[in-house]
Structure 1
Amino acid sequence: MSVDDERPSEKLRGPVVLRRDRRVEPTTTDQRLLDSRGPSDWVHTDPWRVLRIQAEFVEGFGMLAELPRAVTVFGSARTKREHPEYQLGRDLGKALAESGFAVMTGGGPGTMEAVNRGCNDAGGLSVGLGIELPFEQGLNPWVDLGINFRYFFARKTMFVKYSQAFVCLPGGFGTLDELFEALTLVQTKKVTKFPVVLLGTEYWGGLYEWLKNSVFESGKIGEKDLALVHVTDDIDEAVKLVNEAYKAWEETH
């Protein structure tokens, strides 16, 4: 018996090798692409999702690659314009812009809008990274540079990769999610010289006390981990922390 007789029949589908496949289609991929419209179920398959995910990263990297130094600010989409936290967001956005930082938010309403608006008022670059949600939201009108994402993890990568600090104003689950992901990345040294500032002691004080008295005291985090969290009511102090961290980052790059 020759070697050719021992070799099983095979079919190539792009880079994929199919052997002993009894389900091989009688047509080629490009024929199926060009010959007819066919069913649309394929747009919901995992391979197509991979391409969408890739496209989101390419689009995000391309849009933000030349972004100047920036700070990401998180906060509630539910904050009303007449609420004091809205004005706090505007003041923070203005202060960051005046200090030479672009500002990135989730691009939505509430606190995010306030921060984008304050940055815009001060002539800074106001960035919004939106997310597809079950309820329509859209980018707020004070976003200068915006992109909408389908996938949270792609969007989160952009926030971390293209900012030098996180500032969290009072917010809900989304803000908490971003807060603890940022702290985990800093703790595990996935990102360095990356301050996390909680603006609003009345709102964040209870969380900090729980981290200190329960999580730290029980040995779940160390002293250095606890020191990653900065709680303040002072916008100037928050901007100072951001500037100091950026200068330290510059020294290592």
Structure 2
Amino acid sequence: MPSSDKSTKRQDVQPVPVHPPDQRFARQTDFSGDGWRVFKIMAEFVNGFEKMSEIGPAVSVFGSTRVVQGDREYALAEEMGRLLAAHGFAAITGGGPGVMEAANKGAQQAGGHSIGFNIKLPNQQKSNPFIDRDKLVTFDYFFVRKVMFLKYSQAFVVLPGGFGTMDEFFEAVTLIQTRKSARFPVILMGGSYWDGFYRWMHDTMCHQKGYIGQEDLDFIFLEDDPGKVIDIILGFYPEGYCLNF
């Protein structure tokens, strides 16, 4: 009997060639050195803890590295740094240029503590020159750096920025929402930049979809006046708690 079309097709099927693993992916899945990497991670924590051990209340200021002197955001961050210092807060930033430089500059020139948590990046982010000589901490690991921001800050002030700024914002609010961190104020500065974003969280995430609750927004503020930002921070805590932390 002649072969059916079905059997003919089966005979025509060619086996799929098997190739060795692509070396690009083999490199990415080589975890043989992870055990020793733990010691490097521990060293970053120890170094950071030692340098921050005597710092009192502090506020972290975030924002874009692409802001330059003369921009409104630079002036806001610089004034924020000055006011933080005047009210007894250390100013913590990511240690780089832009908004970070401005906040460090304002704090240092006002005689306050100016701290930088720098990160080693492929584009070789350089620390700004307005960080206290013994208060620059440089990290290889983003997650260690995030722990340091959260551990030593009584508030986050978030100016306009990109992915890194959003990452820090969502890291903070997620940990507060899930009660893995104590509640602290997260203040968005630069109203025209954040208005639509906050409205989306409030209207869509919260009230339309119910993916977050109203209480998850109660510690997030929008404020462009640096003086009122200080009022929000001081008013968030019981009297005397913040400055005697």
The TM-score bracket by the shorter chain reads 0.7 to 0.9
- SS, match of residue 188 in structure 2: strand
Partner of 2:61, secondary structure, is strand
TM-score normalised by L of structure 1: 0.80
What pairs up with 1:54-133 in 2 under 5 angstroms? 54-133=42-121
C-alpha distance after superposition, 1:8-28 (max 9, x if no partner)? xxxxxxxxxxxxxxxxxxxxx
Cα RMSD between the aligned structures?
A: 2.0
Report deviation, 1:48. 1.9
| Match status 1:206 vs 2:203 | no
**2:172 paired residue among 154, 170, 182:** 182
Offset, 1:121: 1.0
Q: Does 1:147 align with 2:133?
A: no
> Structure 1 130/226 Cα, relative in aligned 2: closer, same or farther at 3 Å?
same
Whether 2:217 is the aligned partner of 1:226: answer: yes
Output the CA distance in 2 between the equivalents of 1:191 and 1:154. Answer: 15
CA displacement 1:105-141 (0-9 Å, x = unmatched): 0000001000000001100000000001001122100
Report Cα offsets for 1:163-193 as digits up to 9, x if no partner.
1110101111001000011001111222224
Matched ranges for 1:3-42 at <5 A: none
Q: Deviations over 1:14-50 (max 9, x none)?
A: xxxxxxxxxxxxxxxxxxxxxxxxxxxxxx8112211
Following superposition, the deviation at residue 244 of structure 1 comes to 2.1
Distance 2:115 2:80 in 1: 14
What is the aligned residue count? 212
For residue 248 of structure 1, report the CA deviation from its aligned partner: 5.8
5+ unaligned residues in a row in structure 2: which ranges? 1-31
- Are the counterparts in 1 of residues 78 and 102 from structure 2 also a CA contact under 8 Å? yes
Deviation by residue 1:191-240 (Cα, 9 ceiling, x = unmatched): 22411000111111010011011101210000111222101111111111
Distance 2:85 2:131 in 1: 13
SS of corresponding position for 1:160: helix
Q: 2-side partners of 1:250 and 1:194: how far apart?
A: 12
